[in-house]
Structure 1
Amino acid sequence: MSIAVERIERLQELARKAVQEGNKARAQRYVRRAKRIAERNRLRLPREFIRFTCDRCETYLIPGTNARVRLQDGHVVSTCDCGEQHRHPYK
């Protein structure tokens, strides 16, 4: 496993902990940094990371804390506090 992948995973963990502690600004910094590392190293972000980050405000989403999650017609709809919605299919 490359160093970049390890750093992205570590930043994901740190972002999750920062949101749980109520430090939204720190979590946004971690998410931005992880995205930048992926860009620089031409890596795809892990699926879990993509599904639990908001594209608009770059916050790490935790259902029930700063995101609302609903099931709708074969999709999971996650709504961030900023109003951005993410739709992901499920079987």
Structure 2
Amino acid sequence: MNIAEERIDRLHALAREAASDRDHDRAREYVRLARRVAERNRCGLPRAFRRFSCDDCDAYLRPGVNARVRTRAGGHVVVRCDCGATKRYPY
């Protein structure tokens, strides 16, 4: 694991902690910083980080707090952020 991946993991933990403390602006800043580190070093974000961050507003998604999570009959999960952005992935 290189330095960039370690930093992204640390920023993910900080964003999760800030979101659980209901400090959404700080969590959003951690998400933006992690995306910038990933772009600069040409490494992808971990799956958990991609699924729990909004692509439109960079919010760290907390189900039941600022995101709605539903399962559909077609075998996929639908996550909707408060900003209205929708994300779907199979399960």
TM-score by length of 2: 0.95
Q: Which amino acid aligns with 1:84?
A: A
Q: CA deviation at 1:69?
A: 0.4
Matched residue, 1:39: 39
Q: CA deviation at 1:66?
A: 1.1
Q: What RMSD, in angstroms, separates the aligned Cα atoms of the two structures?
A: 0.7
1:13-52 maps to which residues of 2 (within 5 A)?
13-52=13-52
The answer for the alignment partner of 2:86 in structure 1 is: 85
Unaligned stretches of 5+ residues in structure 2: none
Ranges in structure 1 where 5+ consecutive residues have no aligned partner: none
Offset of 1:74 from its aligned partner? 1.1
- Percent identical among aligned pairs is 59
Counterpart AA for 1:63: P
Q: How far is the alpha carbon of 1:65 from its aligned partner?
A: 1.4
**Runs of 4+ that moved beyond 4 A:** none
Aligned residues: 90
One-letter amino acid matched to 1:41: N
1:24-70 CA-partner distances (Å, limit 9, x unpaired) = 11011100000000011000111111111000110011111111100
Q: Which residue of 2 aligns with 1:70?
A: 70
Amino acid at match of 1:28: R
Question: What TM-score does the superposition give when structure 1 sets the normalisation length?
Answer: 0.95
Counterparts of 1:63 and 1:36 in 2: how far apart (Å)?
24
